[in-house]
Amino acid sequence: MTKRQEIVVKRTGFVSARPHLVPCIIPAAMLLGALGKWPYVYYRLLRWVVCAAAVFRAYYGSAWKRYGAAWLFGFLAILFNPLEPIHLSRETWQIIDVLAALAFGGNRGTLTGLFAFLAFA
């Protein structure tokens, strides 16, 4: 984290400096939770949450001129589209869930922000 980023985090607060953090952590946790056995309604809710968070993150990726992230999360929004679901085997979805969780929770901005929050807390 650069000195300027540290100052921004200190002045504006952790979540204000990283508005995409909470919308990225919630679907990441739900995607990892999807590896267990749940009723079908959980997976339907998962599609809505992941799709909404992916659209949100794609918008911010585009606004911040991170076009790779915008394309990645746009693809995830299509893949997890709750209105026209894509039907795959459970094993395939488990692999996709782990990769999508890494995309949401493993991006540099989220991890850097989380470590900055823990360091300043």
Contact 61, 73 (CB under 8 A): yes
SS3 assignment, position 81:
coil
Taking the domains of the chain in order of start, what are their residue ranges? 3-120
| Residue 1 clears pLDDT 60, i.e. is over it | no
* pLDDT value for 121: 45
Confidence of residue 3 (pLDDT cuts 50, 70, 90): low
The whole-model pTM stands at 0.73
pLDDT in tens, 6-56: 555 555 555 555 666 777 888 988 999 999 999 999 999 999 999 999 999
What stretches of the chain show up as alpha helix (H) in DSSP?
3-12, 14-17, 21-33, 40-63, 67-79, 90-105, 108-120
Confidence of residue 79 (pLDDT cuts 50, 70, 90): very high
Lowest mean pLDDT among 47-51, 69-73, 76-80: 69-73
